């Protein structure tokens, strides 16, 4: 799920496939569809766990899980815009940075906290470095 979020939030930076202007819409559609499936499944599991834990009938878990996943998916464009502004601002404020990659791919010691920021709504996300395998790309 985290890998799919990274692919969707930063197209071309974290995907294994080549992403360019010819296949961007297709690639994003595929990634968002896969992310939706993963998210809804995980949310449904959490809801069912609570039903079983409190000995409740599990009648609304699936629709509620799909609805919650869709709500999060619909928030992605706004989150991407905010992240792009954060990355561009960090790049502009760092005279030593030579590319946006240096903002998106910080030193590996900073890896884990990014998923916590995503789940709490914070956009101060930190991503692991894969600088060697990702050429420089501007944030759009």
| Domain ranges (residues) in the chain | 1-74, 75-140
**In this predicted model, what pLDDT tens digit does every residue of 72-111 receive, in sequence order?**
999 999 999 998 888 888 889 888 888 888 888 764 444 4
Q: What are phi and psi of 30, to 5 degrees?
A: -65, -50
Whether the predicted model's global pTM rises above the 0.85 cut: no
Gap between the Cα atoms of 102 and 94, Å rounded: 10
pLDDT of residue 33 exceeding 50:
yes
pLDDT of residue 114: 41
pLDDT of residue 106: 63
End-to-end CA, the chain: 23
Averaged pLDDT for residues 51-64: 87
């Amino acid at each position: 799920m985290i890998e799919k979020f990274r692919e969707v939030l930063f197209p071309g930076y974290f995907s294994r496939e080549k992403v360019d202007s010819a296949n961007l819409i297709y690639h994003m559609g595929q990634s968002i569809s896969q992310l939706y499936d993963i998210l809804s499944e995980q949310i449904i599991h959490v809801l069912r766990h609570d039903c079983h834990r409190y000995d409740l009938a599990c009648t609304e878990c699936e629709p509620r899980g799909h609805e919650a996943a869709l709500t999060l998916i619909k928030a992605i464009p706004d989150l991407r815009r905010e992240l792009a502004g954060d990355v561009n601002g960090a790049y502009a404020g760092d005279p030593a940075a030579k590319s946006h990659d240096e903002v998106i791919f910080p030193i590996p010691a900073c890896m884990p906290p990014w998923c916590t920021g995503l789940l709490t709504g914070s956009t101060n996300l930190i991503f692991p470095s894969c600088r060697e395998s990702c050429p420089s790309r501007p944030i759009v």
